[in-house]
Structure 1
């Protein structure tokens, strides 16, 4: 019976045949891996400029609480708990790049520690530690670990929710009261995770597989019944965010306007960012599958590898959520986004570590790890560069130019012809000091006074009286917008007696100084 295969793994930790690493207890090893993961994510996290989604986080968090709740009533309720957290965090530590991204780096450390704890249920400590470290190095993880968004926190909750599930299933002989408390904790953590990230529900099919494979000392129906009851209660607790998120589903309509993601593109971009990293990673994943499923029963123990059922759990975690979104996008409505699958990254790290451990000799393993690191380092360096976010966001550099050259009383006009997350106007909100004293010519209502994420603005041609007393105006234009759109504001100001004094291209933002 398939359920009996996993029983030894859930009944007790795997017995190591090698000598235990001296002084490295399970808790200490998980803690050290978590600390290393934190350092990897936090290093140079302050270097890249903010980008649009981070601007949404910071601008929402900096609202007054009444304004924030007014916003969540109409949009972004699924991020509401994170915005509330960030509201208090910014009050304490400020809104710099390092400060606002630090919670994500901490969350990656917590997730990596949890990955080690979880993997140790099914395999030897060396492989589990390797899984936690590889997880910390995956390009998708290093990206979200240096971003002011909720994805990293949701991933940490996903890992520890799974740890709690496996621990609860292993506690089958515990007293009834303790089991009730464990299942209650599972319900609460599930609900909390969905308030942070609604798509955490993608983890439930994975947990269903764990429950089915976990029947050991109790009948299968008892585990399934307890888990279903815990899920029902957790979903009831999360019902408000599920209902509000459903009513605001139009906010992800932008996915439908993007090109359809192919399976091949997802295989590269979902976690690995570049083709070399993807080739190395998928090769090791294939090695893991072949090593565990094609070897004779019991042979895996000499290398501390998981059994077939153990590896199945991580493979299901790796594949099923992605398949659900890809199929759902094709058959129901656009719902696939690369970042939604970040919560699968812990499983990716563990399976890759199994592939490394399954290689024939220590030399081959060392070469495989070295090759993987060699492929990852360039991607990491790009992420930590000045323009490492959103394919080249340059708002901090733009702010530096404005701070150095503009003077109080000058006007500023922003290109509004691009999608909201790339509008140059957001530079003023995430780097406000550089724009102090400048006249925002086209602003009609500030974002904090609306029920929407962004400022309300008017076309420049509708607010010409506002420039009557101005002698210098700075145009900030997105270089990717059409030439005719970029020239519209220049032409409008030229008719009002201005001329182009100087043009500066930062990275993807063009700064045009116009004077009378």
Structure 2
């Protein structure tokens, strides 16, 4: 007689009751599990996305993607082959939506939202709805995801590609005999390799997940992964030949670098500590449950930890690859592990309080990300320099940009980007543009005195520091300008100085 009550109590227990399979019994997947993480990531990515000025890497993106298609393809033959797919995608995008700061960053905003959705679906598939919701929200809240959602570089797209590949792998492992699902997974692996070859280290976690499903799954996984690698191989091979040139600035990592990579991955030391701490109860719960629950935890742990260890190890060779933004694709694995750890909290209010606490921890970082120079190592007010030239410009004016040893500051590209298309003064000392050279760097006139024209006024754009702005230029350029021009005034801005030179009578 007491049995009905006992059975009902067990059936109403959210921990004991198994979640119905999607589509079974007329039920569908709850849209809130993936919708809210996607909306949160989209809102955080859009809010203030046009505020921070483009920094040097983003200016490189702008310069390359606004070249004609033929010149773009010529460029990636010489440099940035690993970004060729991203450049072509953004080239098509800017052709439709323009090249404003927001337009350039919008694909990354959308990718960050998509990554949050995929992360939530991975968590739901492996550990239930609550774990999926928490995982997606955690990824959306991570300041580093907002940072790279608001950047015209491919890293948010890489996170999306790896998360989508993981989700497609899980679907394929549900029915390892099928061909269509493995084909989709192969395409996703190819996308990962085309967007960033270092992200292919994510296959370590995928290998563990396939191995847990048996021999058939391992064989099908191997064939699909190989197909994806073959599709991406031209970019991978060409990218490896360019690695020494492009990554020479990254130092060889020591043990301190390995220890310090984890806070950088999240963009917040507090959030990194919280997320990693939350992964502990996930393993503790698996130890008390069936062994089958440990396989996804092991695969996720390998996906989160193996790529940094692999890149740290190989970075002790001729080229170092160990930099945090190249490892952002591990964040979905960390988020799902944290979501699995929080699923033990039965009360929804406790989960809400935990998420609210994590959101408060990230608030200072989120605010800082909207500052004008949030993307810079050393801020440069390109926008202000362009505004000065535009305000006082006269027809017939020309411009001189400092390049030299500090060309990485990209004063020419930065000012050109923020000037209107109809106002592009002649670049006096430019001999051959970067686009014409199929490269990222231009060449300058070898004889500055002969390259000067008859312009009555020249705008001089140099880095801040020297009292006399001409002192920042190469000696031959400075001498040629001093012989024919005199300075009539300067504008001091953050990281840059704009001077107006007038021709001597």
Is residue 486 of structure 1 aligned with residue 486 of structure 2? no
- What secondary structure, in the 3-state scheme, does the structure 2 residue paired with 1:36 have? helix
Distance 1:103 1:310 in 2: 31
Unaligned runs of 5+ in 2: 1-13, 21-26
Q: Which moves more between the two structures, 482-491 or 337-346? A: 482-491
- When residues 90 and 338 of structure 1 are mapped into structure 2, their CA distance, relative to the original with a 3 A threshold, is same
User: In the alignment, is residue 136 of structure 1 matched against residue 140 of structure 2?
Assistant: yes
TM value normalised by structure 2:
0.85
The aligned counterpart of 1:7 is: none
- The counterpart of 1:155, out of the listed 145, 156, 159, is 159
Aligned length: 480
Which residue pairs with 1:383 in the alignment?
369
How many angstroms does 1:164 deviate by?
A: 0.8
Match of 2:150 in 1: 146
Q: 1:408 aligned to 2:408?
A: no
Distance, in Å, in 2 between the alignment partners of 1:397 and 1:88 is 29
Q: Equivalent residue of 1:474, what SS?
A: strand
Indicate yes or no: 2:313 matched with 1:327. yes
- Superposition pairs of residues 195-206 of structure 1, within 5 angstroms: 195-206=194-205
Query: Partners of 1:343 and 1:497 in 2: how far apart?
Result: 55
1:378 CA displacement: 1.9
C-alpha contact 1:15 1:124 (8 A) present in aligned 2: no
Structure with more contact order per residue of length (Cα contacts < 8 Å, sep ≥ 6) = 1
2:185 paired with 1:186: yes
1:429-448, Cα deviation, whole Å (9 max, x unpaired): 42241782523111111222
Q: Distance in 2 between matches of 1:24 and 1:394?
A: 51
Other-structure match for 2:283: 292
CA distance in 1 between partners of 2:321 and 2:466 (Å)? 26
Gaps of 5+ in 1: 1-13, 301-305
Query: Deviation digits for residues 445-482 of structure 1, max 9, x if unmatched?
Result: 122222212332236xx312444533432222223799
Aligned-residue RMSD, C-alpha: 3.1
Match of 1:225, SS?
helix
> How far has the Cα of 1:203 moved from its partner?
0.7
Q: 1:75 touches 1:248 (CA, 8 Å); kept in 2?
A: yes
Please give the alpha-carbon distance, in whole angstroms, between the structure 2 residues aligned to 1:354 and 1:250: 40
Deviation at 1:486, TM superposition (A): 2.0
Task: Give the drift of 1:385.
Answer: 1.8
1:132-179 C-alpha deviation (Å, 9 max, x unpaired):
01101212110111111121112111111111111111124xxx4xx1
Within a 5 Å distance, the mapping from 1:22-61 to structure 2 comes to 25-61=29-65
Contact 2:186 2:228 in 1 (8 A): yes
Separation in structure 1 between the aligned mates of residue 363 and residue 264 of structure 2, nearest angstrom = 16
| TM-superposed deviation, 1:117 | 0.8
Shift of 1:33: 2.3
Which has the larger displacement, 352-361 or 286-295?
Answer: 352-361
Q: Please tell me whether the aligned partners of residues 293 and 308 of structure 1 are also in contact (alpha carbons under 8 angstroms).
A: no
Show the counterpart of 1:11. Answer: none
Q: Does 1:247 align with 2:241?
A: yes
For 1:375 and 1:415, locate their aligned partners in 2 and report how far apart those are by CA, in whole Å.
42
Q: TM-score, normalised by structure 1?
A: 0.84
Match of 1:279 among 270, 279, 287: 270
Q: Does 1:423 align with 2:407?
A: no
